[in-house]
Amino acid sequence: MKLMTWMTLLLSALLSPIAALAQTDDATVTVKPMVGMTVTTLAGDNTSDIRSGAGWAVGMEGEVRLSERIGLSLGLVYTKNTFKSVETMTDGAPSTLLFRSFSNNRFSQEHIQTPLMIAFYPVKHLALKAGIQPRLLLSATWQTHVSGDYADMSGVGYAPVIIEDLPRTHFDYDQTSQVRATFDKVGLSIPVGVSYEWKRVVLDARYHFGLSDEAESDDKERYLMLTLGYKFNM
């Protein structure tokens, strides 16, 4: 509830310059709370092991209808985007003091997004949209399953040993790490989409083409966002 209140106040401030455009007899202003889901993946040369993951989105969007065919909107959206890696990463080797493997890797990112969109209405209630979307990274986490073993050095003392001959202890656990430092704090994407309105209920589908690099690589984020919202006249 606090998040929605904060987002409403911030969106109102952001909409002030756009609302100035509505000072004509033909222009109308609407506000749309919305909630939905995201499906995220990465695109690039090193993404063969990446699989898409589902997340969610919640936010508000204000639109100035400048004419029968054209609208301009500005939004504030919180998203949690998730993608997975099927690659099993290793640390060490089975013959060393410590061997670890990391599997079932899952990365989650939380963003505040501010989409600025222009909408074209070819027919009533149907809109084709495109724009630009700055974003701020709030958090990033890495969830993984860690397993492996280590050589038991108890009782060895200072005597020379052959590591391969030592008894080994197995371990197996899940781990969550904060990895925000490895991602860009601010980013930019190009959203394109379509929406349909029925009795003020709006179904919106947008595909986002990320322009910013991810995790210190040249990979770019791609995600689909599906939302359901309700329009209020201002």
Record the tokens describing residue 129, joined without a space: 């949209």
pLDDT digit string, tens, across residues 186-230? 889 999 999 999 999 999 999 999 887 766 677 888 999 999 999
CA atoms within 13 A on the CB side of 156: 13
Percent of the chain with pLDDT over 90: 44
Domain 2-153+161-233 maps to which CATH number in 2.40.50.140, 3.40.33.10, 2.40.160.20, 2.60.40.10? 2.40.160.20
Q: In terms of C-beta density within 10 A (0-12 exposed, 13-18 middle, 19 or more buried), how is residue 46 classed? A: exposed
Q: In terms of C-beta density within 10 A (0-12 exposed, 13-18 middle, 19 or more buried), how is residue 159 classed? A: exposed
Compute CA 19 distance to the chain's CA centroid, rounded to the nearest angstrom.
29
pTM: 0.78
CB 133 within 8 A of CB 119: no
Mean of the pLDDT values across residues 156-183?
75
